[in-house]
Structure 1
Amino acid sequence: MLIVFSGLPGTGKTTIARELARQTGAVYLRIDMIEQAIRKAGVLAGDVGASGYGVANALALSNLQVGHTVVADCVNPVRESREAWKAVAAAAKVVLLDILVTCSDQEEHQRRVETRTGDIPGLFPPTWQSVLAHEYEAWESVPLEIDTALMTPEQAVTVVSRLARSPR
């Protein structure tokens, strides 16, 4: 199974995705970590663009093909990145579980963004202004939505775990 957590920075997707991967033993792929490794390697001048997603898609496919569940943690802001995850799941012949993580309480979302500390060396957390300005295309078909203003990370992990175990 490929489980893709999407959403703007500060919604709680990393907290949920990381804990789900820990509890289930799934492979955990975090786009921020991959993109920062690309920057640190100095192989691309300027913005890494879609290269982090390309690396993550390839890693996901190789792990899915040997039978691992993969949890991807990404903003996933555009149709192209979402379609690429679908293609990975199709190529591996596994179920794709798309999860959009939101925080409907704007004050809480802003507080999270403004008080978070970076956990990836060399990568600075986004500002609230950059989150508000972030490109984010509407979904063609609405995925499962988890609103972290309405449930705790523990409750969210329980919901996703239950869905991942249900027959498809």
Structure 2
Amino acid sequence: MNPSLITFAGLPGTGKSTIARHLAPRLPAVWLRIDVIEQCLRETQPERDDLGADGYKIAAAVAESNLVAGHYVIADSVNPVALTRDIWSAIAAAAEVPQLRVEVVCSDDDKHRHRVQNRRPDITGLDLPDWQGVLSREYHPWAEADLRIDTAQLSPDQAVEAIVAALE
């Protein structure tokens, strides 16, 4: 397999980071988690109310340098709209590597709500959205996704196998 950019999109609580955590050592890949970058920005710039696309821009720069160096990169974020998704496509094109666009969904609303309501942050200081926050979040389904993973149907290990198969 040649190094690729694996771009995730999906609402909070669907399982993106869980899948990325399992996938990164399997490839191996650099795992760029937007939540980590944005939390660092919040801590170092507490006067800012809105981070805008800064976390995505930082992650994109790090992704490009790692792709050029020959590494797999996993871009793990909500990627809610075309604007953020296009950032990753531009990086893959600039680095001249393939991009696998993966939308992670949870088709079982009860399971999804349970995950959101019962998860604990694994990033110090990160405030996770509640269920209402997830429901009210702007998110456009990713029609251009190459692969759609439904975590109501697949375990994290099964999702990893589906992604690895798609990369081959």
**Category of TM-score, reference length = shorter chain:** over 0.9
Aligned CA RMSD, in angstroms, stands at: 1.2
5+ unaligned residues in a row in structure 1: which ranges?
A: none
Per-residue CA deviations over 1:33-89 (Å, capped at 9, x if unaligned) read 000011111176112111100001100001001111101110000111111100000
SS in 1 for 2:8: strand
Query: For residue 56 of structure 2, what is the aligned residue in structure 1?
Result: 53
5+ unaligned residues in a row in structure 2: which ranges?
A: none
Structure 1 residue 22 corresponds to structure 2 residue 2: no
Query: For residue 115 of structure 1, what is the aligned residue in structure 2?
Result: 118
Query: For residue 69 of structure 2, what is the aligned residue in structure 1?
Result: 66
> 2-side partners of 1:103 and 1:130: how far apart?
16
Query: For residue 131 of structure 1, what is the aligned residue in structure 2?
Result: 134
CA contact (8 A) 1:61 1:92 kept: yes
> 1-side partners of 2:107 and 2:143: how far apart?
20
- Taking only the aligned residue pairs, the percentage that are identical comes to 51
SS in 2 for 1:33: helix
1:22 shift after superposition: 1.8
Query: For residue 149 of structure 1, what is the aligned residue in structure 2?
Result: 152
Equivalent position amino acid for 1:57 in 2: A
Query: For residue 75 of structure 1, what is the aligned residue in structure 2?
Result: 78
1:5 shift after superposition: 1.2
CA contact (8 A) 2:66 2:72 kept: yes
Structure 1 stretches of 4+ moved >3 Å: none
Structure 1 residue 100 corresponds to structure 2 residue 103: yes
Equivalent position amino acid for 1:48 in 2: L
Trace 1:7-46 onto structure 2 (pairs within 5 A): 7-42=10-45, 45-46=48-49
1:142 shift after superposition: 3.9
1:144 shift after superposition: 1.0
Equivalent position amino acid for 1:129 in 2: Q
1:8 shift after superposition: 0.3
1:131 shift after superposition: 0.1
Aligned length: 165
